[in-house]
Chain A
Amino acid sequence: MVTLDSKIPSGSIEEKWDKHKFGMKLVNPANRRKYNVIVVGTGLAGASAAASLGEMGYNVKAFCIHESPRRAHSVAAQGGINAAKNYQNDGDSVYRLFYDTVKGGDFRAREANVHRLAQVSVNIIDQCVAQGVPFARDYAGLLANRSFGGAQVSRTFYARGQTGQQLLIGAYSAMMRQVESKQVELLYRREMLDLVVIDGKARGIIVRNLLTGEVESHVADAVILATGGYSNVFYLSTNAMACAVTAAWRAHKRGAYFANPCYTQIHPTCIPVHGENQSKLTLMSESLRNDGRVWVPKNKGDKRPASEIPDDERDYFLERIYPSFGNLAPRDVASRQAKYRVDEGRGVGSTGVAVNLDFRDSINRLGEEAIAARYGNLFQMYQKITGENPYKVPMMIYPAPHYTMGGLWVDYNLMSTIPGLFVAGEANFSDHGANRLGASALMQGLADGYFVLPYTVGNYLAGTNLEKVSPAHDGFKEAHQGVQQELQKLLSIKGGRTVESFHKELGRTMWEYCGMGRNEAGLKKALESIPKLREEFWNNVKVPGDLNYVNPELEKASRVADFLEQGELMCLDALERKESCGGHFREEYQTSEGEAQRDDENFCHVAAWEWQGTNKKQSLHKEALTFENVKLATRSYK
Chain B
Amino acid sequence: MAHMLGNLLLFVGSDAYNEYGHALTSGKIIYVAEAALIFSLLTHVFMGMRLTLKNRAAKGARYHVQASGEKKVSWSSRTMVFHGAIILFFVIYHLITFKFGTYYETTVNGVVMRDIHRLVVEVFANPAYVAGYIVCLILLTAHLSHGVGSLLQSFGLNSRAHEKKRQAISCLYALVVGGGFIAQPIYVYFMN
Contact between A and B in the complex (any CB pair below 8 Å): no
Interface residues of A (CB under 8 A from B): none
